[in-house]
A and B are shown apart, each in its own frame.
Chain A
């Protein structure tokens, strides 16, 4: 009983320290708040269930990011199957409306970037969001994803060029 309380207390501290960072990481992968909320809750449950197995081989921060990334990607795969066709038909109208606006605020830019990121392969998607939005170092990303820093750098640069090109083609940039 006392041990359970101790775990809960520790979990509460962990949530206070990391839930917001994990939320933004997940949100940049799954786009909407509702999706991010679902994935974050699943992530936190998984963290709680497996915290005893955390052996300190990596830092807690990168271990959490690894779980969050896996949860988000699993979610995306399920969603992708359901919504691919619907998204394609909505996308053109959405972009047309966005371009019609005189100025782009943060919310709109976010949505546009999400559209561009959605075109990236899975690995580049994760690398792009970790580096561009979370501003994680390559060292931390390497620890979280189990990929070499050189490969991550190359992946990020490819992703940057693709996203930039996508935004130019949709006339958001220029």
Chain B
């Protein structure tokens, strides 16, 4: 069926509006407005010295969920490393507080290599060769519960259910 044109639509649904439409509907505008507008706009542009494309400011842009996953994975990685060091009796500097690690990772997220972040964010292909996680020696125990809960609440607020399921 051929689509109706505007006049046919008006005739069918609002004949009164069709009559109004046939009258001259445009209100007045100041004379020479569009010429003045063009001048004003060009002046505004030169005053603001705008550049339409930001130069040399390209950043690696990861998807927010991937950034969050990478941050969580890195945090776990650091915690595991600290735990393993502690268990093997090696001399290590005093452990960093969870909040300090988290703050550092989030502040310097853009400085990490993108592939490395993705590698950490993805589940290991061979779990036995990756960090050995056992329920009995959970590395998260190295982080105070309060800090861990606080961090997880913040992350959970910002993360959707599907991403969370994928992470877990």
- Listed in ascending order, the chain A residues whose CB lies under 8 Å from chain B are 4, 7-8, 11-12, 15-16, 19-20, 23-24, 27, 33, 37, 40-41, 44-45, 48-52, 104-107, 109-111, 113, 131-133, 135, 138, 156-157, 160-161, 163-164, 167-168, 173-174
When A8-B42, A52-B53 are in contact, do A109 and B6 touch as well, CB less than 8 Å?
A: no
In the assembled complex, which residues on chain B have CB atoms less than 8 Å from the CB atom of A168?
Answer: 16
- Whose C-beta in chain A lies nearest to the C-beta of B7? A135
Say yes or no: B52 contacts A52, CB within 8 Å.
yes
The 8 closest A-B pairs by CB, nearest first: A173-B16, A164-B14, A160-B14, A106-B24, A52-B53, A160-B13, A110-B27, A52-B52
Cα-based distance from A92 to B51 in the complex (angstroms): 49
25 contacts between A and B (CB under 8 A): A11-B41, A12-B38, A12-B42, A15-B37, A27-B27, A27-B29, A33-B33, A41-B37, A41-B40, A41-B44, A45-B44, A48-B45, A48-B52, A50-B52, A106-B23, A107-B28, A156-B9, A157-B9, A160-B10, A164-B14, A164-B16, A164-B17, A168-B16, A173-B19, A173-B20
- Which residues of A lie under 8 Å from residue B3 when comparing CB positions? 138
Q: How far is the CA of A30 from the CA of B34 in the complex (A)?
A: 18
> Which among A8, A52, A167 is the interface contact of B45 at CB below 8 angstroms?
A8
Residues of chain A with a CB closer than 8 A to B2's CB: none
Interface Cβ pair total, 8 Å cutoff? 96
Which B residues contact A (CB, under 8 angstroms)? Answer: 3, 6, 9-10, 13-17, 19-21, 23-30, 33-34, 37-38, 40-42, 44-46, 50-53
Q: How far is the CB of B11 from chain A (nearest CB, A)?
A: 11
Residues on A with C-beta less than 8 A from B44 are 41, 45
Partner pick for A163 among B6, B17, B25, B42, CB 8 A cutoff: B17
